A and B are shown apart, each in its own frame.
Chain A
Amino acid sequence: MNFNATLIGQSITFLVFVWFCMKYVWPPLMAALEERNARITEGLAAAERGQKDLEEAKSKIGDNLNEAKQQAQEIINQAQKRANEIVDGAKDIAREEADKIKNSATADIDQQVNSAREQLRKEVSVIALAGAEQILKREVNADTHAAVLDELVAQI
């Protein structure tokens, strides 16, 4: 081993290298590493958040679906009820109408019966009159006995 100025030269070189490394090499690389670390951490957190959001959304969708189903059921029930009401109403109206028709028909029939009865009465009075004429064998003045005949007709 023999020492010479190389020793000094090496020391200077070494210190210059360390200085350069400290100034221009280490900090940017370290900064990049740390920044990436931060980014990765952030990314992981964001992913987790996203997952949570997704789950929340899923449960919300389930809730909404149930609610919608319930509403639909309600609407169907209401519609059914309304339909029943309408049918019932129609039945009532129909019944009323039928009653009305029946009543008017009954009235008609009554009227017809009355008129027929009137007609019959008139004809019976004529026949009775003719019968009485034959029985009395003499002409009975229709005019003098009109009052009696009318009374007779009214009695039939």
Chain B
Amino acid sequence: MAGSYANSGEYIKHHLTNLVYGQHPDGSWGFAHGADEIKEMGFWSLNVDSMFFSIGLGMLFLWIFRKAAKKASTDAPTGLQNFIEMIIEFIDDSVRGSFSGKNPLIAPLAMTIFIWIFLMNFMDLLAVDHVPGLAALLGIPYLKIVPSTDPNVTFGLALSVFALVLYYSFKMKGPGGFFAELAFHPFPKFMMPINLVLEGVTLIAKPISLALRLFGNMYAGEMIFILIALMYSGGWALGLFGGVLQLGWAIFHILIITLQAFIFMTLTIVYLDMASQADH
């Protein structure tokens, strides 16, 4: 399938490039063609493919769940409602297990994170060439269909969670309490600067580790799919081997995408729980 590319390097590069919309250096707005143009557009450009797929998947998630919520009854649940309730109870159990306080935001937040990230990760299981190939026929030069392989997406989520952590830290502990937590641990008060550095790093590490863990796993997974896909252009024997590999990796990846969504959700709950505890 990599036949239309000059070499495999270009094939890989093409598959890892987002469809970016922004302002060209000459002042005109449009899609970027190639990494150089993306770089020139700077910060104020938009990864249209990431936004499209993430919003689309989010809408799908909310649409299905809203449908179930509207029909929710206390009779014996059937079909969709049963499935949704299973997820709800799973999330509720996780939240109850990790979050000690009472906050109506946490459970819906956890559910949104879990389902949304799972759906975004799930796009990884679609064959790497099909959707972008179809898009190419429509004249779209680049398309990355797995939003969670875009660091913008994972950092967007992680920074939002971090903002909530800061908000609840200030709200539940007060600015003084929050500062005390950062400054008077783990060493005594007179070593405040060291404490601040240590705790500051701990604090900052939370969103960065959240975002990078998800991004790294998904990016690596996607990369392996792309490398496997390269085999299809190496004759039927290599192609057959690639097919077996792809099947194996995809099955293994089902575990990874679920696990990553679950880890992101659980850590979010834990971080917010730590932020919400008034007495540390």
Contact = CB atoms under 8 A, between A and B. Distances in A.
B78 interface: no
Interface residues of A, number: 31
B54 A25 contact: no
Interface stretch (B3-11, B61-69, B198-206, B225-233): B61-69
A6 B51 contact: yes
A17 B62 contact: yes
Interface of B: 20, 22, 38-39, 41-47, 50-51, 54-55, 58, 61-62, 65-66, 68-70, 72-74, 77, 84-85, 88-89, 92, 104-105, 107-109, 111-112, 116, 150-153, 155-157, 159-160, 163
A39 interface: yes
Interface string A24-51: 1110111111011001000000000000
A21 B77 CA distance: 21
Interface stretch (A8-16, A62-70, A79-87, A143-151): A8-16
Interface of A: 1-11, 13-15, 17-18, 20-22, 24-26, 28-33, 35-36, 39
Interface residues of B, dominant DSSP: helix
A30 to B, nearest CB: 7
Contacts of A17: 58, 61-62, 112, 116
B112 A6 contact: no
A36 B75 CA distance: 7
Contacts of A30: 88, 92, 107
A5 B111 contact: no
A25 B62 contact: yes
A18 to B, nearest CB: 5
Contacts of B44: 4-5
B160 A11 contact: yes
Contacts of A20: 62, 66
A18 B109 contact: yes
A10 B84 contact: no
Contacts of B54: 10, 13
B51 A9 contact: yes
A18 B113 CA distance: 8
Given A17-B112, A30-B92, A4 B152 contact: yes
Given A6-B150, A7-B155, A17-B112, A33 B69 contact: no
A10 B116 contact: no
A1 B55 CA distance: 21
18 contacts: A3-B43, A4-B22, A4-B42, A4-B152, A5-B45, A6-B152, A10-B153, A11-B159, A13-B54, A14-B156, A17-B112, A17-B116, A21-B108, A22-B108, A25-B65, A25-B69, A25-B111, A33-B85
Given A6-B47, A18-B105, 11 more contacts: A5-B45, A9-B46, A11-B159, A17-B61, A17-B112, A18-B109, A25-B62, A30-B107, A32-B85, A36-B74, A39-B74
Contacts of A18: 105, 108-109, 112
A145 B89 CA distance: 149
A29 B150 contact: no
B109 A22 contact: yes
Contact of B46 (A2, A6, A28, A35): A6
B150 A33 contact: no
Given A22-B104, A28-B70, A35-B74, A10 B51 contact: yes
A146 B234 CA distance: 184
Contacts of A13: 51, 54-55, 58, 156
